[in-house]
Amino acid sequence: MTSPARPGSQAPSEEVPIGPGGPRRALIVGTGLIGGSLGLGLRSRGWHVTGRDREPGRAEEARAMGALDALGEDLEAEVVFVATPVGAVAALATEVLGTPGRRPDCVVSDVGGVKGPVVEAVPHPRFVGGHPMAGSEQIGVAGADADLFVGATWVLTPTALTDTAAFGRLRGVVTQLGADVVVLSPADHDRLVAVVSHVPHLVAATLMNAAAQGAEEDAALLRLAAGGFRDMTRVAAGHPGIWPDICADNRPAIVAALDRLLADLAQTRQLVAGGQRRGLLELLDRASTARRALPARATRPDRLAELRVPVPDREGVLAEFTSLAGDLGINIYDIEIAHSAEGPRGVLVLVVGSDEAPALHQAVTAQGHRATVRELS
Amino acid sequence: MTSPARPGSQAPSEEVPIGPGGPRRALIVGTGLIGGSLGLGLRSRGWHVTGRDREPGRAEEARAMGALDALGEDLEAEVVFVATPVGAVAALATEVLGTPGRRPDCVVSDVGGVKGPVVEAVPHPRFVGGHPMAGSEQIGVAGADADLFVGATWVLTPTALTDTAAFGRLRGVVTQLGADVVVLSPADHDRLVAVVSHVPHLVAATLMNAAAQGAEEDAALLRLAAGGFRDMTRVAAGHPGIWPDICADNRPAIVAALDRLLADLAQTRQLVAGGQRRGLLELLDRASTARRALPARATRPDRLAELRVPVPDREGVLAEFTSLAGDLGINIYDIEIAHSAEGPRGVLVLVVGSDEAPALHQAVTAQGHRATVRELS
C-alpha cells in the first residue's frame, strides 16, 4: 500500500533522464519491505523498475502491488539496489557488477545495517554501500511505502576506490526518494550504529529477559511495568532473525560499545551504592538535557554553507574529504563533484553547517587546496 | 485541565457515604500533579476535598482549577493522601495521624515511588503505603486529570500492623478512582520497581550520556539515532530532581538489580564476542516472545476466583495472606475482610486468577484455615 505523501515530501529533484529519452531505469534485487518501498518510491517518481527475489512469489507480490514494472533482469538499469539481508549482499552485488552486457556506468548499492564487511567484500568503483535508516527487514513487502524514506537519514559510505560519477548518481537517486544523505566511512557508520542501534537493541532484549525471568518468580512484576519500561523494551519485540548476522558482521564495534556501556553502568552503580546524590543528579541532569536536545528527526542546521574546492576528478577524492570532515567532527550534509567540461578536473562541493565551515575551510586549505566558502540562503 | 472520561472509566463504586449524610471527605497534603489529580478524581465522584501545599500558591492553583473544595485542614476527612515527594512523607503522615481532633478511623496513605523506608518510618495501623503507577512528580498541577488513575496499577502495601478496616476503606477509594489494586509487601514493591522502573531509568540515562559524548566526537551520531534509540532514552528526559531520593531510599534493591543487569549484559557481550549465533538467537527470541506478551496495560486474567477464608478480625491478618500468596507467586487482584456482625471474626475474601486458586486454596488449608473457592463469572 502507498501512504499519502507526508510532510517533507519533496518534488522530484532536478535530475534529468540519462540516455536518449525514456524513463530512468532501476533494478531491485530482493523485494521485501525495503525493496518494495524503493520500487514504489521510484515508480511514483517516474522511473521504470524491474525487480527479482530469491522467492519468485515475493517478486510477483511486489509487482501486483505496483512496486515493479517488470520481473527479472534489466541490463539497462542505471542503478541497482541489492535490498537483501546483509549476508547475501556481497555475492549478489558482485554478480550484478559482473553480468555481461550490463550498462557500463551502472551504480550498485545495498541497504544493509552493517557496512564494513560488505564494502570490503565488493571492492569496486561502482559499488557504494548504503543504509537507509527507515523501516526494517522484519516486515514483508505488504508494508512497503513509496514515502518510507522521506525525511529519513540514508547513510552512504564511499571509499577511496569510489567512482565520483557513480557516487553522484546514487546520491541523486537517494535525494530524489526524499532521504537526507549522511556520508560516512564504512567503519564510522558501523561504529556509530553500534552505539545508537545495535547495543540499545541488545540492552532492550537483556532488560526484557531479566523482567520476564523476574516475573516467573513474582507474577506481579509485569503488572508494575509502566510506560517507561514498555518504551525501553519495544525494539526487543522485533523479529530476532536478522540479529545474529548483524552481531557477526559488526562484532568489533558492538563489543567495544558494550564494553563502554558496561563500564558506564558500573560507574552509575557506584554512584547509587555510594549514595552520591550530587553525582547522580549530575548524571541524570546531563542525560535529561541531552535527551531533550535530541531532534525529533534528523535535521539540518538552520544555516548551511557551501565549500567549493577545485579537485582532480579521480577516484578517492570523495573519501579524502569525507575523512577530513569526519576527523574534525563535522557533518557533511551534501557532497558532489561538479565536473569540468574541459578536462580531468572538477569542483568538489561540500555542504556543511555555517558554524563549521570556517574550520573545514582552514583544514582544506592546510592540505594545499584552494577553497571558497559561500553561505546558502 | 480535565480530560474527557477515557474508555474503562468506571461508574462510582457501590460504596456509600460513611457518617450521617453529606459527601465523603478527603484531605490532600501536597497538590502537585498527583495530588491535583486525586482532588479532581474524588470531586468528580462526589467527594468533598480539602487540600494544602507547602507552597500556598500551588494549593490555590489546585483550587482554582477545581481540584479542591477548600484549603487547609479537615479533621473530618476519612482518608488523607500525602502526595509529596518521598522524602517528606514520613514526617507529614506522622503529623496528620497525630493531629488532635482528627477523626479516629481516618486512613492515611501516600503516593511515593519507594515504600519500605516510608512504611517503616510510620509504624501505624492506619497508615498504608501506596504507589499509583501513573503520571509522575515531574509535572505540576496544571497537568492534573480526574481520570489519571483509570486503568492504572496502584500498589498498596499493608503490613502485619495494618488495620483491616482502614485498609478496606483505602482500597475502596483507590478502586473508586478507577485503578487496579495490586497488594504487595513494601519490600516486594521496592524490589520489583527497581527492576521495571528504577534500573531502566538509570540505563536510559547512561545510554543517553554515552551517545551524547559520542556525538561530541562525531556529530553524525545523533543523526543516526532512529526510533529505537529514541524509545529507549525517552524516560531520561524526565526531571532529574526526584531521582537522588529514589536512589537513596531504594538503594539495596536498585544495586541488586543493577548487578543482575551487569551480569546479564556481560553474558550478552560474551555471546557477541564469541560469535555464538545460536545463543544470540535464543536470547533475542526469548525477549521478542516476552515483549510481545507484555500486556498493553495491567490486565486481569479472563477468569477470576474468590477464596473465602473465615479469619479472626485482627491486625496482621491481611499481611499473613498477602505474603502467603506472594511466596506462591500468585497475584492478588482484590482483598477485603467481610466483617461479621456478631463478633471478632470476619471472612477474608481473596480474588485471584482461576488457574491459581487451587494452589492458594491448598496452601491456606495447609495452614489450618477452612477456605472455600468460588468461580467469579
Closest chain B CA to residue A238: B288
DSSP B63-74: HHTTS-SEES--
Which chain A residues touch B260 with a CB distance below 8 Å? 210
pLDDT tens for residues A3-57? 443 333 333 344 444 555 789 999 999 999 899 999 999 999 999 999 999 999 9
Is the CB of A376 inside 8 Å of chain B's CB atoms? no
* Alpha carbon of A36: minimum distance to chain B alpha carbons (Å): 21
Is the CB of B291 less than 8 angstroms away from the CB of A233?
yes
Per residue in A42-90, pLDDT tens? Answer: 999 999 999 999 999 999 999 999 999 999 999 999 999 999 988 899 9
DSSP code at position B290: H
Own/partner pairs, B370-375, CB within 8 angstroms, 24+ separation: B370/B309, B370/B310, B371/B307, B371/B308, B371/B309, B372/B307, B372/B308, B373/B305, B373/B306, B373/B307, B373/B308, B374/B305, B374/B306, B374/B308, B375/B303, B375/B304, B375/B305, B375/B306
User: Does residue A336 form part of some domain?
Assistant: yes
| Cβ pair A210:B241 closer than 8 A | no
Closest chain B residue to the Cα of A184, Cα to Cα: B220
Q: How confident is the model at residue A235 (pLDDT cuts 50, 70, 90)?
A: confident
Is A17 within a domain? no
**Residues B153, B239: one domain?**
no
Q: In terms of CA atoms, which chain B residue is nearest residue A242? A: B281
Q: Kindly state whether residues A197 and A176 are assigned to the same domain.
A: no
Domain boundary among A267, A293, A319: A293
Smallest CA–CA distance, residue B185 to chain A, in Å, is 11
**Given CB atoms, is B138 within the 8 Å cutoff of chain A?**
no
pLDDT at B83: 96
Please report, for the domain that includes residue A343, its CATH number: 3.30.70.260
CB distance B232 to B207 below 8 Å: yes
Q: Which residue of A has its CA nearest to B259?
A: A269
The answer to whether position A12 is within a domain reads: no
Which of A184, A219, A240 terminates a domain? The answer is A184
Q: Is the pLDDT of residue B299 over 60?
A: no
B241 and chain A: CB distance < 8 Å anywhere? yes
pLDDT band at B8 (very low <50, low <70, confident <90, very high): very low
Q: What are phi and psi of B351, to 5 degrees?
A: -105, 125
The number of helix segments (H) and strand segments (E) in chain B equals: 13, 12
Judged by DSSP in three states, A256 sits in helix
Closest residue, chain A, to B183 (C-alpha): A220
Q: Which residues of B touch A199 (CB under 8 A)?
A: 207
Nearest C-alpha of chain B: how many angstroms from A296?
8
- Residue B47 shares a structural domain with residue B140: yes
Task: Please name the member of A232, A251, A260 whose beta carbon is closest to the beta carbon of B231.
Answer: A232
Q: Which of A255, A288, A300, A354 to mutate to test the interface with B (most CBs of B within 10 A)?
A: A288
ipTM of the complex: 0.75
Contact assessment for residue A174 and residue A107, using Cβ atoms and an 8 Å cutoff: no
CB atoms within 10 A of CB B254: 28
pTM of the predicted protein model: 0.75
Residues A111 and A134 reside in one and the same domain: yes
Residue to mutate among A191, A203, A246, with most B CBs inside 10 A, is: A203
Higher pLDDT, B16 or A150: A150
The parent domain of residue B313 ranges over 304-376
- Flag whether pLDDT at B341 surpasses 60: no
Nearest to B287 among A205, A219, A331 (CB): A205
Q: Is A4 a member of any domain?
A: no
CATH number at residue A201: 1.10.3660.10
Using pLDDT thresholds of 50, 70 and 90, give the confidence band for residue B122: very high
Highest-scoring range by mean pLDDT, B17-21, B141-145, B264-268: B264-268
Of the pLDDT bands very low, low, confident and very high (cuts 50, 70, 90), residue B127 is very high
**Are B176 and B198 contained in the same domain?**
no
Domain end call among A184, A214, A237:
A184
Structural element, H or E, at residue A71: strand A70-71
* Contacts with B355 (C-beta within 8 Å, 6 or more apart), sequence order: B301, B303
Averaged pLDDT, B354-376: 87
Q: Which of A114-118, A131-135, A199-203, B36-40 has the lowest mean pLDDT?
A: A131-135
> Which of B216, B221, B285 faces A192 most closely, judged by CB atoms?
B221
Least confident residue range of A2-11, A172-181, B235-244: A2-11
Residues from chain B contacting residue A246 (CB–CB below 8 Å): none
More confident of the two residues B116 and A134 = B116
Q: Are residues A115 and A149 in the same domain?
A: yes
Residues of chain B neighbouring A262 (CB-CB closer than 8 A): 262, 265-266, 269
| pLDDT > 70? residue A2 | no
Out of A216, A260, A284, name the one closest to residue B205 (CB): A284
A214 touches chain B (CB under 8 A): yes
Query: How far does the CA of residue B138 sit from the closest CA of chain A (Å)?
Result: 12
Angle between helices A186-193 and A251-273 (to 10 degrees): 40
Distance from the A373 Cα atom to the nearest Cα atom in chain B, whole angstroms: 21
Of B182, B203, B258, the CB nearest to A223: B182
Mean pLDDT of the region B192-219 = 91
**Bigger pLDDT: A307 or B136?**
A307
* Interface residue A238 vs chain B (CB under 8 A): yes
| Chain B nearest CA to A258, separation (Å) | 7
Partner A contacted by B209 (CB < 8 A): yes
277-296 in chain B: CB under 8 A from chain A: 277, 280-281, 283-288, 290-292, 294-295
Contacts of A87 in chain B (CB under 8 A): none
Provide the 8-state DSSP code for A355.
Answer: G
Cβ neighbour number for residue A273 with a 10 Å cutoff: 15
Percent of chain A whose pLDDT exceeds 70: 88
Q: How sure is the predictor about A303, in pLDDT bands with cuts at 50, 70 and 90?
A: confident
A107's enclosing H/E stretch is strand A107-110
Query: Is B7 contained in some domain?
Result: no
The minimum CA-CA distance between A237 and chain B, rounded to whole Å, is 4
Provide the pLDDT for residue B207. 94
Averaged confidence pLDDT in chain A: 86
Do A224 and A125 lie in a common domain? no
Same domain, B367 and B316: yes
CA–CA gap between residue B360 and residue A363 (Å, rounded): 74
Q: Are strands B153-157 and B127-132 parallel, antiparallel or unpaired?
A: antiparallel
> Which residues in A lie closer than 8 A to residue B286 (C-beta atoms)?
205, 209, 212
Please tell me the distance in Å from B104's CA to the nearest CA on chain A. 33
A176 in the same domain as A45: yes
What amino acid is encoded at A257 in this protein? A
Please choose, from the candidates B295, B291, B32, B297, the residue with its C-alpha nearest in 3D space to the C-alpha of residue B154: B297
Q: What is the CATH number of the domain that holds A163?
A: 3.40.50.720
B194 and B325 share a domain? no
Q: Quick count: other Cβ atoms within 10 Å of Cβ B360?
A: 23
Question: Taking 60 as the threshold, does the pLDDT of residue A299 lie above it?
Answer: no
Residue B356 lies in a domain: yes
Assess whether pLDDT exceeds 80 at residue A332. Answer: no
Best of A294, A327, A334, A352 to mutate (most B CBs within 10 Å, chain B): A294
Residue range B8-36: average pLDDT? 71
List the single residue in B195, B211, B288 with the smallest CB-CB distance to A211. Answer: B195
Q: Does A19 touch chain B (CB under 8 A)?
A: no
pLDDT on residue B263:
97
Higher-confidence position of B241 and A344: B241
pLDDT at A141: 77
**pLDDT for residue A301:** 63
Q: What is the pLDDT of residue B17?
A: 47
Is A124 part of any domain?
Answer: yes
Inter-chain touch A288–B238, beta carbons under 8 Å: yes
Q: Which tops the pLDDT comparison, A334 or A324? A: A324
Assign B49 to helix, strand or coil. strand
Higher pLDDT, B365 or A75: A75
B 164-193 near A (Cβ less than 8 A): 180, 182, 184, 188-189, 192-193
Number of independent structural domains in chain B: 3
Read off the pLDDT band of B304 (50, 70, 90): confident
- The answer to whether residue A334 neighbours chain B at the CB level (below 8 Å) is no
**Does residue B244 share a domain with residue B226?**
yes
Do A223 and A271 fall within a single domain? yes
Flag whether A240 is in a domain.
Answer: yes
Q: Give me chain B's average pLDDT, please.
A: 86
